[in-house]
Every structure is written in C-alpha cells, then in structure tokens.
Amino acid sequence: MCIAFSEMAARSEISPARWRRPFLVWMDGIEAGWAIPLLLIGFIAVWQAFLVIAYLGGDLHPDVLETWTLGRGIEWGYSKHPPLMGWVARAWTSVFPLSNWSFQLLAVTNSAIALWAVDLITRHFARGDKRIVVLLLLMLLPAYQFHAQRFNANAVLLAAWPIATYCFLRSFETREIGWAVAAGATAALAMLGKYYSVFLITSFLLAAMCHPQRRAYFGSWAPWISTITGMAALAPHLVWLATTGAQPFAYALERHAGKAHVPPLIEPLLFILGVALVLVIPTAAWILIAGDRLKKFPQDFRNLNPGLLLLFLVSVGTLVLPAIAAVGLGADMPPIWALQGLFLFAILIVCGASYPIERFYSVNLAVAVIGIAVLAAVVVAPVHALYRNFHPLNEGRNFYQASAMELTRQWHQQSRAALPAVGGDDGLAFAMAFYSPDHPVYDVRLVHPHTESLPPQTKFERGWAALCFDGDEHCVAAMEAAAARASRYVRTEFVLESTLLGQPGATQGFVALIVPPSAEDAAPPTGMAEDISAMRRGPVESY
C-alpha cells in the first residue's frame, strides 16, 4: 500500500488532477501569508454553522452560562475558578450581544486563535506544507470543535497554552528581556485560566533544566525576569486568594482529590490511555503520510534541533506531571484536561521529520479535514438538532431560554420591579441570569440552599425567584424551606415543550418559587404558598 501511495504521489507531483489545482494554489499561499488565515476563517465559518444548526433546539451549556455569570463582575478570582474565562466573556459581551450564536462564535474564535498560536511555533521550525499539515492534524482532534464549545476554564487554555509555550521558547532561545517578560506574563495568564497550568509551567522549568543549553539560559537574566514578571502579574490574584480563603483550591480539592477508593495507579494509567485514544485519528493520518519513512523516526528523534528538543521535554512534562499528581493527591485526572497540550505532539512529529511532505498527501489531508467539517455542518448538525428535539440534552438545555422567559413573566405578575436574584437548580439559575430580560443576579445562597447555613439576617428584601425541575425533589424542598422565611411566597408548576422549526418535541415540568419584594407584600396568609395559574403562552402549560 505504501508503495502504491508513493507512486500516486509521484504522478500527482508531475501531473496533478484538475480538482487538486485550487488546493495547490491555496498551499502556494502559505508562505505568502494568506493561506493560513483563509484556513482559520473557513474553520470558524463551518464550525459556527455546525453549532448554530446542531443546537437550534438547545441553549448554551451551563459551563458557558456560568462563565458569563462570573464575568459580570471583574474580580481577581471567583469561588470556583481563576478569573481569565470571566474576563474574556465580559470583554466579548461588551462588543457582541447576549445570545447563543454570540457565545458559539466566541468558542470557535478561541479555537482559531489557538491554532494561529500553534502556527507561530510551527513556522519557527518548518515552512510550506508542514505548517498547514500540523493545523490539519489538530483539526482531526475533538478539542478544537466539541471540547471548545463549552467555553470554560478548560477551553480558555486552548489558546493560552500555545501562546505561553511560544513565548517561553523564544525566551529560552534568545534570552532577550522582551521575550523573558512575555514568557512570564503569558505563563501567569495561563495560570489565571486554570491552575492545571501549573503542570505546563513546571514543565517549562524541568525542560530548561534538562536541556543541553541550560547553562546559557540560567546564566542569563531571562529566567529571573520571567519569574519576577509572572509573580507580579499573579500578585493581585494571590492577594485575593489569601484574603478569601483560597476558595478555588478548596473547591478543586473537594471535587477531585481524596479518591482513596481508587487503586493508586489506575487514575494515571487511565489518564495516559485517554490521551493516547484522543490522538488515534491524527496518528493514523500521519502514518499514511509518512509510510515507509516511519523507519526514520529513531534517527529523526536523535537529530531533533534544540528548539524541538525543548518542546519534547515540555510535552513529556505535561503528561507525566499530572499522572504523578494523580497518584500523590489521590485525585482524578480526566484526559480532557490535557487536550490543550496535544498541539506539542503534532508539531514534534511533523517538524521533526527530516523528509518533505509531498503535495499529494497535503491535499489529501486537506480534503479529508474539510470534507469532515462540511459533512458535520450539512448532515450531522441537522440530525443532531432533530434528535435532541425529542431526546433533550441531559442538562435540560432545550428549555433554558423558554423557562427563563416564563419565570420572568410570572415574576412580573407579582412585582413591577426587575427580578433581582435567582436560585434553584444550578443550570436553571445560570440560564435565568443569562436569558431573562431582567438579567437577575445568580445568588449562590439560593442554589440548593441549606437553610440552617443561611445567616438569620438573610431576608432578600428585594425579593427573589427560583426554578427547579419538577423531578428534583431535593431542589424543590430546599427552595421551599428558604422561601418559608418570607412573609409570602408564590409556588407554581408549569410544563414546557421543546420545538424545532415549529415541530413539537419533548416536554419538561418545572416548579417555580417567587418571593415578592417585602414592600409589595399582599394579603395572603403568612407562610402559605399561593397557587396561581400562569397564562398559557406558546408551549407553556400550567397546572
């Protein structure tokens, strides 16, 4: 098979088929500077179309809604996460509207920026087709389309990691002050994205220590300038951590550490295996491209230039260090957390190869990647939308916007003031904050509250509302207990039906609780729930 491909490649170089010629012209523009931007613009367009079509009947993921909710206030940290994702969401919505398509565009734009940063590194080692092959191989991963659509603390690292890696590489090679400052600043930015970035930064340090040029690097001002810059950039966040009880660390340890019931080596093995499985498709594509030339791999590895050797050492660290941490902390380590670092392997394999890549293979890979993307947008996305209209997404996302509008309507039957605060189910509360025209504040005290832990003076004089799925008895009971503190509250139940282009689909029941502002309390008996019938509007049914 490899011989047959080689013969086909040779014939194609001499006399390419007519359908290949537009691709050849495109690839001639790589070094001219327009081919890569065109690829990234096409990437954004096709995958934006996929997300819009696939989720016609579904709203944004709770992680995305949480990101926007956190970003409503520019802080140096948040209770669960470092602040970068909230900052990005805040900056984005200062330009773009609060809508599903806007945040879908944010997700694919973030991926395109990540791929652009990868190309910055690739062009440092290769020219021409190898640059585009690296990007096409990465586009075969699920990281830049499906993982990226949940713009959260994980997705924000897709761009932060390659940017930080590029600056560190340039600082290590040049030891110039400007690059040293950039390396420290971008490393801090990665940490402000997610603390998992400590593995990247530690990998930088270990790679520099293990590299043959370590004396030149550590004998210069570069590492110390980077350290000072990084610590200065992180200082406000560190102060915030010290003064707020390091809430994100407590949250992370509570959620992921202390897995004593899991055998100590299982988690790191599953982590490494999961990463390997993610790389299967691009690896298979590269094997087809390299063919018999794979036997040159040992020699090519021994002859890695100093820059690629540095990246290899970094890549090893980004896999080994999390595995060690999983054992030491007894923590789970989902492979999805490593996706933002897989670009290193694509660069190493392609740029480390001593042989050129024939246009035959470059064009074939481009056609395959573009074909998959177009097929996904034209066929898979409509099928997904149709399926999810009858089989709702697990988080209840089919009903987020509709339930927010219905609860807002019911609130305004009780009060002329804007709805100030919202709670109940976590995802529904985030959805209320985002989709309601009143944009109430997500109040963590009202999300599955333990009333005994609420301060006695907590009265919420301006009122509040909460929404639970009708099958979530714990949520309903907790919200009723919190509402019982008020002099009056209103409890309603209603059913929503999902629709797709007018086609009715699945239904979902909800329980809503409304505590009107204290100044507008009316005559109903104290502490009793008042059942009201909501007006039937569209697919809303009250009972």
d(CA 432, CA 514) in angstroms, rounded, equals: 13
Whether 463 has a pLDDT exceeding 80, the answer reads yes
252-290 confidence digits (pLDDT tens): 766 666 555 556 678 788 889 999 999 999 999 999 999
Of 464 and 535, the structure prediction assigns the larger pLDDT to 464
Instruction: Output the pTM of the full model.
Output: 0.90
Listed range (5-9, 229-233, 378-382) with the worst mean pLDDT:
5-9
pLDDT, residue 7, reads: 57
Whether 331 has a pLDDT exceeding 90, the answer reads no
Which residues touch 106 (CB under 8 Å, ≥6 apart)? 88, 89, 92, 96, 151
pLDDT, residue 540, reads: 41
d(CA 126, CA 346) in angstroms, rounded, equals: 12
d(CA 4, CA 330) in angstroms, rounded, equals: 51
Q: What is the mean pLDDT of the chain?
A: 88
pLDDT, residue 2, reads: 54
pLDDT, residue 260, reads: 54
Report, as an integer, the average pLDDT of 230-257.
84
pLDDT, residue 40, reads: 98
- Between the alpha carbon of residue 27 and those of residues 22, 23, 352, 385, 463, the distances in Å are 9, 6, 21, 35, 61
Is 407 in contact with 467 (CB distance < 8 Å)?
A: yes
Report, as an integer, the average pLDDT of 58-68.
94
93-137 confidence digits (pLDDT tens): 999 999 999 999 999 999 999 999 999 999 999 999 999 999 999
How wide is the angle at C-alpha 101 spanned by C-alphas 97 and 104, nearest 5°? 110
For residue 496, the cross-strand partners are: 508, 540
For residue 282, the cross-strand partners are: none
d(CA 260, CA 377) in angstroms, rounded, equals: 44
209-220 confidence digits (pLDDT tens): 999 999 999 999
Q: Which of 86, 83, 141 is nearest to 114 (CA)?
A: 141
d(CA 447, CA 429) in angstroms, rounded, equals: 8
pLDDT, residue 249, reads: 75
SS3 (DSSP) at 265:
coil
Whether 366 has a pLDDT exceeding 50, the answer reads yes
Task: Name the percent of the chain in helix, strand, coil, to the closest 5.
Answer: 65, 10, 30
User: In the chain, what percentage of residues exceed pLDDT 90?
Assistant: 74
pLDDT, residue 531, reads: 39
Helices and strands, number each (H, E), in the chain: 23, 7
pLDDT, residue 529, reads: 37
pLDDT, residue 15, reads: 66
436-451 confidence digits (pLDDT tens): 999 999 988 888 665 4
pLDDT, residue 539, reads: 40
Enumerate the domain spans of the chain. Answer: 43-377, 397-542
